[in-house]
Amino acid sequence: MVRIAPLDPNRFTSAIPYYVNGRPRYSERLVVRLAREAKLDARSRVLDLGCGPGSLTLPLARHCGTMIGVDVDTDMIATARQASGIAGMDVDWRVGTSFDLPADLAPLDLVTIARAFHWMDREATLQRLDELIGPGGAVALVNTELHDAGVRWHGAFEELRKGHGRFDEFYHWRKSDGWEEHVSVLLRSAFSNVERISVFELRTTPIEEVVARALSFSANSPSALGEQGRIAYEEAVRETMLSISPAGTFPEIVESIAIIARRPGA
Q: What is the DSSP string of 74-136?
A: HHHHHHHHHHHHHHT---EEEE--TTS--GGGPSEEEEEEES-GGGS-HHHHHHHHHHHEEEE
Question: For residue 11, what are the CA distances in angstroms to 59, 76, 119, 189, 218?
Answer: 24, 11, 11, 28, 6
- Flag whether 4 is in a domain: no
SS3 227: helix
164-222 residue pLDDT tens: 999 999 999 999 999 999 999 999 999 999 999 999 999 999 999 999 999 999 999 99
Q: What is the DSSP letter of 28?
A: H
Question: For residue 218, what are the CA distances in angstroms to 225, 229, 264?
Answer: 10, 14, 36
Q: What is the DSSP letter of 205?
A: E
What pLDDT is attached to residue 128? 98
- Flag whether 6 is in a domain: no
- Flag whether 196 is in a domain: yes
- Flag whether 137 is in a domain: yes
What pLDDT is attached to residue 2? 64
Question: Do the bridges between strand 249-262 and strand 108-114 make them parallel or antiparallel, or are there none, so unpaired?
Answer: unpaired
Task: List the one residue out of 173, 198, 207 whose CA is nearest residue 6.
Answer: 173
Task: List the one residue out of 180, 197, 189, 185 whose CA is nearest residue 263.
Answer: 189
Task: List the one residue out of 34, 45, 176 whose CA is nearest residue 118.
Answer: 176
Does the CA dihedral 121-127-132-138 come out positive or negative?
A: positive
What pLDDT is attached to residue 33? 98
Low-confidence ranges of the chain (pLDDT < 50): none
- Flag whether 5 is in a domain: no
What pLDDT is attached to residue 265? 87
Whether residue 90 contacts residue 160, with contact meaning beta carbons closer than 8 Å, is answered with no
- Flag whether 125 is in a domain: yes
pTM: 0.96
- Flag whether 56 is in a domain: yes
∠ CA 70-35-16, rounded to 5°: 35
* Number of domains forming the structure of the chain: 1
CA-CA distance, 29 to 19, in Å (whole number)? 21
What pLDDT is attached to residue 248? 98
CA-CA distance, 256 to 88, in Å (whole number)? 25
What pLDDT is attached to residue 118? 97
Torsion over CA of 199, 200, 201 and 207, rounded to 10 degrees? 110
What pLDDT is attached to residue 3? 81
What pLDDT is attached to residue 145? 98
Three-class SS string for 177-199?
Answer: CCCCCHHHHHHCCCCCEEEEEEE
What pLDDT is attached to residue 126? 98
CA-CA distance, 48 to 253, in Å (whole number)? 25
Task: State the residue range of the domain holding 70.
Answer: 13-262
Three-class SS string for 250-264?
Answer: EEEEEEEEEEEEECC
CATH number at residue 39: 3.40.50.150
